[in-house]
Structure 1
Amino acid sequence: MDLNSNATLRRALLGSQSSPRRLGAAAGAGLFGATGLFAFGSHAAFDAIPEAVLLLFVLLGTLLAVGAAYAGSGLLVSAGLVVGPAYGPLTFYAWLISTREAAPVAFVLSFYGHGAPALWAPVAAVLAAASYAIGALARRFGDRLGLR
């Protein structure tokens, strides 16, 4: 790889500006913590798994990843914004499963059950790649049309 392709790869992974990268990383960490605490709180208060609300958090992270890619952040920030809200509750439920005797096998897009983190890995990867691609393409089209 020559120097120009190395710079292009670095810009695609990390982004071109540091401000959207920092904001995206902070938002991804915040969504990880918020969804984990939400899962903990709902389990402690209601002994229920709020799948629909947690899926909305993942959708919010995906939309934020599109916006971050449009603003010039890289693929890693987009991945963090998608993985954060997906793996926040998965971390809590994995801990919960480890403290109990038995748990069910996880269904697709379920946050609770054996194998849920492995089921979410390809979903999160596809969502991260798609959100980055949509945001980057929108930025390119906006630049060509003079909208940015």
Structure 2
Amino acid sequence: MTRDTKETARRLLLGSPSAPRRSGAAAGAGLFAATGLFAFVSHAAFDAIPEAVLWLFVLLGALLATGAAYGGSGLLVSAGLVFGPVYGPVTFYTWLIATGDAAPVAFVLSFYGHGAPALWGPIAVALAGGSHALGALCRRALNGRKG
């Protein structure tokens, strides 16, 4: 790899040096914790799976990933912002299945059931990549008009 190729790969993954990487990573971890805690509380209090609310968290993560990419953050920050709200509830429900009774096979876009982590993997990758690409393209298009 030449120096330019290494720098391009580094910038794609990590973003520009001035990008707020730490705040994006902290937001992704916070979304992971918030959605996992929300799934835990809703299951403990209501014995229900709040799919619609959890989907809104996933969309919020995708929007935050688009904004982070627009701000110059890299693909890893965008992935963290999308994977956090996806795998927060999936991790809780996987633990619940492992310690409890039998569970059904997960439906598409369901956080609960056998196979939910495998179902959400490609969706989260597509959301992270698409959000990052959209944010980077908007940044390029709007910065191109100014200059």
When normalised by structure 1's length, the TM-score is: 0.97
Q: Report the equivalent of 1:130.
A: 130
Q: Report the equivalent of 2:48.
A: 48
Q: Report the equivalent of 1:34.
A: 34
Alignment length, in residue pairs? 147
Q: Report the equivalent of 2:61.
A: 61
Matched, 1:10 2:1: no
Deviations 1:70-123 (A, max 9, x none): 000000000000000000000000000001131000000000000000000000
- Measured after TM superposition, the shift of residue 37 of structure 1 is 0.2
Q: Report the equivalent of 1:94.
A: 94
Moved over 2 A (4+): none
Q: Report the equivalent of 1:104.
A: 104
Amino acid aligned to 1:84 = G
Q: In angstroms, what is the RMSD of aligned CA positions? A: 1.0
Percent identity among equivalent residues?
Answer: 73
Q: Report the equivalent of 2:77.
A: 77
Amino acid aligned to 1:135 = G
Q: Report the equivalent of 2:141.
A: 141
Distance 2:146 2:40 in 1: 46
Q: Report the equivalent of 1:22.
A: 22
Stretches of structure 1 lacking an aligned partner (at least 5 in a row): none
Deviations 1:39-87 (A, max 9, x none): 0000000000000000000000000000000000000000000000000
- Measured after TM superposition, the shift of residue 19 of structure 1 is 4.6
Stretches of structure 2 lacking an aligned partner (at least 5 in a row): none
Amino acid aligned to 1:136 = A
